[in-house]
């Protein structure tokens, strides 16, 4: 390795962490004074927008003027939102910045109501007339896809009064999510347990996960599981009432916009056929055996008499190898060389400084994400801790960052924002490149086992678990669509049966597992979202295969198709974008390929385990 390798700073004091490992906010705004000026500029443009009401039928120039003003406002929205949002996330304790973020959110909600007239008025223009205007007006060309997509969804757009009425509900619609967050963070009282070594642990979410991931005493893991989830069980009727609010809100919105089901409403925005979700669930349900095979292997290698889902997180083998941040970046850069010199150069530029917040500090939010700012580029948050997992996390998030870089470079603002449906393709493809590089350079059976296990665990977490979650959401939403009761007993019964359906005889599903749906944020925060993790995983598996197999010419053509996908932003419906890259998610074979990949990886795990003494 040629990169200098420095150890993770011991400090958690942000002021003591070197600047090269922290975000530079000045490309967004030079100061809070500049941010205030940006808000004033944005609000002035927002105030000017309602004056365009009644002008759209006047001709193509009027439509261009409205869309260009939308663009100007949208680009300012990115900046005025990200500037406080990113700074809040590196110190969640700063209430002043939190207040500034709330101020921005309130302005956005007000603007949503002020623009409710726009789409209904646009759709009073006959589609044939609009298509003629687009063909004859070069300035309208960048807006062709979003404009015509409005016509595609025309039957679900209400008149101006209806759209205005629905816009008033935008803040109200967030109440179930906010209630869940308060109950699960602000008001929850996490219990303390005494483990077998006499150590007392307060089971916050992070501490609970730490016990599951590091404590090799199954009795301790069981105690932690039971004690932690009894906290949720104690409030299970409240969680059920909150989730009923989510379900009723979604059903209200679907009916208001003339959709037959909540699933139709959730998918139509991106023109996703229902067959995609239905095929995903059906094929995964029929393909649970490799998942169960892995659970049985874990049980055997861990030497357990009974196996439980709370045993999923404990590593089978410990490998103490450290991966400092500089090494992680070098490994990730090396792994994506098959994507070409231009991609690698852009990657190097991104990691060169100011755009990645690397290390944990007091008050910083947990996890990792990539956040774009159009006209500036992506910002990447990490909490790098020198583990193998943190290397893969970097590769994953940097995959998102490079998707953003290529999209911003290639697309005008209006089509620069790619959908969630394709977002995870870039990140999981980069993870797969990293895995293949590790396997190609690692001969130690234990290290190879750990690497393969990482890949298998990714399929468990990103594919099987997310499909099970999607299965649950679909069944829960059908309760309200069919006018059936939504109670804690009903919801918990659905979830327990799903666990039995997916795990089969490979794990012991204790009675308390029936309440674990209550702690899953996606159910409350973003319904019908999680299935996209699984479809993206299936898509990236197929794309990676085309990138790395066949003749040199075939691989070159596949690489160009893939980079075209990353450059395409949101310029088409995601299913069409993926088809151009060679993926059809309506086909059973696309999903079945992940099941087969899981089976092959578990077989490799078994082979490597046999070599370990």
CA dist list (Å): 242 to 178, 300, 476, 495, 514 = 10, 40, 13, 16, 17
CA angle 61, 67, 71 (to 5 degrees): 140
User: Which string of b and e fits 89-98 if b means at least 16 CB within 10 Å?
Assistant: bbeeeeeebb
Phi, psi of 12, deg, nearest 5? -115, 10
Residue in the block written with tokens 């949720």? 232
Rounded to an integer, what distance in angstroms lies between the CA atom of residue 66 and that of residue 52?
7
**397 classed as catalytic:** yes
* DSSP string of 349-418, one letter each residue: HHTTSSSEE-S--TT--SS-EEEEETTTEEEEE----SSHHHHHHHHHHHHHHHHHHHHHHHS-GGG---
Do 247 and 480 touch, CB atoms closer than 8 A? yes
Closest CA to 354 of 373, 338, 335: 373
Q: Is 287 helix (H, G, I), strand (E, B) or coil?
A: coil
> Could you tell me which residues are beta bridge partners of residue 192?
202
| Residue 83 burial (C-beta neighbours within 10 Å; 0-12, 13-18, 19+) | buried
Rounded to an integer, what distance in angstroms lies between the CA atom of residue 306 and that of residue 313?
15
Distance of CA 161 to the CA centre of its chain: 34
Rounded to an integer, what distance in angstroms lies between the CA atom of residue 475 and that of residue 490?
11
Catalytic residue among 163, 233, 397, 473: 397
CA angle 475, 477, 482 (to 5 degrees): 90
Rounded to an integer, what distance in angstroms lies between the CA atom of residue 506 and that of residue 460?
14
Radius of gyration in angstroms for the set of CA atoms belonging to the chain, rounded to a whole number: 25
Q: What is the 3-class SS of 489-517, one letter each residue?
A: HHHHHHHHHHHHHHHHHHCCCCHHHHHHH
For β-strands 377-381 and 356-357, DSSP reports them as parallel
Catalytic residues: 397
């Amino acid at each position: 390795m040629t990169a200098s390798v420095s150890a993770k700073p011991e400090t958690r004091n942000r002021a003591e962490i070197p600047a090269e490992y922290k975000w530079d906010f000045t490309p967004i705004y030079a100061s809070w004074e500049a941010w205030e000026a940006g808000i004033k500029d944005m609000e002035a443009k927002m105030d000017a927008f309602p004056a365009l009401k009644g002008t759209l039928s006047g001709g193509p120039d009027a439509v261009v003027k409205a869309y260009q003003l939308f663009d100007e406002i949208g680009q300012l929205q990115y900046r005025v939102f990200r500037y406080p949002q990113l700074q809040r996330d590196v110190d969640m304790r700063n209430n002043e910045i939190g207040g500034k973020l709330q101020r921005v959110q309130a302005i956005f909600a007000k603007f949503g109501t002020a623009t409710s007239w726009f789409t209904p008025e646009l759709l009073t223009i006959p589609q044939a007339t609009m298509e003629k205007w687009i063909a004859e007006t070069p300035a309208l060309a960048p807006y062709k896809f979003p404009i015509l997509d409005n016509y595609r969804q025309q039957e679900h757009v209400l008149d101006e009064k209806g759209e205005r009425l629905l816009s008033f509900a935008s803040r109200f619609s967030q109440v179930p999510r906010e209630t869940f967050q308060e109950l699960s963070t602000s008001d929850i009282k996490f219990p303390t347990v005494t483990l077998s070594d006499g150590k007392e642990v307060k089971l916050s979410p992070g501490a609970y996960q730490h016990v599951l991931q590091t404590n090799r005493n199954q009795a301790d893991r069981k105690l932690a599981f039971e004690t932690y989830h009894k906290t949720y069980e104690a409030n299970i009727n409240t969680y059920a009432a909150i989730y009923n609010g989510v379900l009723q809100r979604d059903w209200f919105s679907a009916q208001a916009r003339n959709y037959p089901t909540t699933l139709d409403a959730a998918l139509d925005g991106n023109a996703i056929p229902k067959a995609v979700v239905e095929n995903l669930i059906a094929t995964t349900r029929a393909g649970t055996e490799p998942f169960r095979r892995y659970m049985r292997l874990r049980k055997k290698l861990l030497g357990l008499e009974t196996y439980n889902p709370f045993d999923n997180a404990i590593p089978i083998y410990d490998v103490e190898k450290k991966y400092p941040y500089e090494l992680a970046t070098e490994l990730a850069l090396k792994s994506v060389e098959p994507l070409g010199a231009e991609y690698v150069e852009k990657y190097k530029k991104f990691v060169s400084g100011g755009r990645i917040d690397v290390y944990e500090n007091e008050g910083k939010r947990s996890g990792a994400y990539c956040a774009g700012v159009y006209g500036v580029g992506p910002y990447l948050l990490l909490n790098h801790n020198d583990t193998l997992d943190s290397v893969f996390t970097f590769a994953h998030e940097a995959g998102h960052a490079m998707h953003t870089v290529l999209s911003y470079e290639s697309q005008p603002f209006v089509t620069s924002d790619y959908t969630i449906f394709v977002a995870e393709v870039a990140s999981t493809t980069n993870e797969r490149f990293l895995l293949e590089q590790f396997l190609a350079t690692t001969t130690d059976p234990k290290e190879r086992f750990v690497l393969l296990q990482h890949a298998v665990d990714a399929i468990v977490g990103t594919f099987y678990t997310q499909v099970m979650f999607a299965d649950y959401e679909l069944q829960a939403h059908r309760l309200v669509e069919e006018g059936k009761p939504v109670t804690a007993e009903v919801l918990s019964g659905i979830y327990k049966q799903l666990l039995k359906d997916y795990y089969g005889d490979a794990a012991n599903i204790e009675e308390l597992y029936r309440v674990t749906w209550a702690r899953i944020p996606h159910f409350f925060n973003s319904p019908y979202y999680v299935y996209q993790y699984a479809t993206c995983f299936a898509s990236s598996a197929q794309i990676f295969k085309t990138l790395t197999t066949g003749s040199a010419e075939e691989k070159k053509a596949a690489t160009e198709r893939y980079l075209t996908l990353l450059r395409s932003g949101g310029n088409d419906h995601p299913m069409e974008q993926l088809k151009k890259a060679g993926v059809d998610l309506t086909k059973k074979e696309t999903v079945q390929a992940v099941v087969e990949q899981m089976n092959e990886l578990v077989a490799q795990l078994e082979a490597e385990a046999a070599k370990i003494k």
